[in-house]
Amino acid sequence: MSESLLPPIGMLAELTHRCPLQCPYCSNPLELLKANRELDTQTWLDLFSQTADLGVLQVHLSGGEPTLRRDLEQLIAGLSARGVYTNLITAGVGLAEGRIEAFAEAGLDHLQLSFQGARPATTDLIGNHRGSHEKKLEAARRARAAGLPLTINAPIHRHNIEEVPEFIDMALSLGAERLEIANVQYAGWALANRNVLMPERAAVDRQAKIVAAAQERLAGVINIDFVPPDYFAIYPKPCMGGWARDAFIVAPDGTVLPCHAAQTIPSLRFERFGERTLAEIWADSAAFNAFRGSGWMQEPCRSCERRDVDWGGCRCQAMAIAGDAAAADPACIKSPIHERLAMLIAGTGRAAETAAAEEAFIYRRIGVADVA
């Protein structure tokens, strides 16, 4: 590892692509991996050992639905033994009695619970899973009873954006320490469903005001994080803190990635754990170094005063909209195709008005082919 390259501090471990929900906003790739391609227990434990050696301080355990892994308690215990902070990101459905308590006993530090809606009907529609809302509420109660800090995650899009005040009330009623109002980012299944997920600008503006007022009103009571939607932005967000800058992702089959959607960039080849060590991949992988730092940047990014702030924004979004992963993120007002986002917003709005959600959604399913 070069002296100028710092070790990563965070990792997202996608333990499986399997999930009882079929959310159309999911950022997982369209080609979901089946269970027979997942790393086994010992390989994950070896990977986590190298993760700790590399200097990672926190690991987010995700999927798919990570609780479908029967060895999850063992994986949590392995990380805990190395002093790594663990955050479990779960849909909270299908949990056997005593499982959350077992996670806490194994050393889990935090539980992050996703709600597809603040209303039962919305949760059931988006996840395509009847009765899931009450199961989530029960999972939240059990997590708090087990002494686990709780985050409520609210992925926001056209079909639940008016429920933001109710998400805030629900998080408070559940005793959550943190609420994440995270507008959907259009990658994977969300990109395939963009036409029916994109909210209207007026709704986005209302949401931003509601969240800002709640952050001020509830300061010291609950942490409310707000992830604004890229398509309505003036400047882009630094993707994952910057491409391969301080965090990485491992897919269920051990493929090591700088971000969720990195495999949509066809010019890059990503290595799997076992082909080389994590330290070697982090420091020397051609794919990780492709957009690391600012040396790769074209104009207007190369001479922009924000280049070390947003690190060029999202490379996958540039690929999806501009057709060039090295182009300026179209979310940036300085991008020559920034106005294309306004056209996409208008076009998706018209498409959403002409179709009922339950008919128009391409639900996330393993084995669904050719939905791009």
Cβ contact 349:10 at 8 Å: no
26 among annotated binding-site residues: yes
For the chain, the C-alpha Rg in angstroms (whole number) is 20
Torsion of CA 310, 312, 314, 319, to 10 degrees: 170
Torsion of CA 196, 199, 201, 202, to 10 degrees: 120
DSSP 185: P
23 among annotated binding-site residues: yes
State the Cα angle at 266 between 265 and 271, rounded to 5°. 85
State how far the Cα of 158 lies from the Cα of 82, in Å rounded to an integer.
42
Ordered strands of the 85-90 beta sheet = 223-227, 178-183, 150-156, 110-114, 85-90, 58-62, 10-14, 247-250, 256-257
239 among annotated binding-site residues: no
State how far the Cα of 120 lies from the Cα of 100, in Å rounded to an integer.
22
Binding residues: 19, 23, 26
Binding site for [4Fe-4S] cluster: which residues?
A: 19, 23, 26
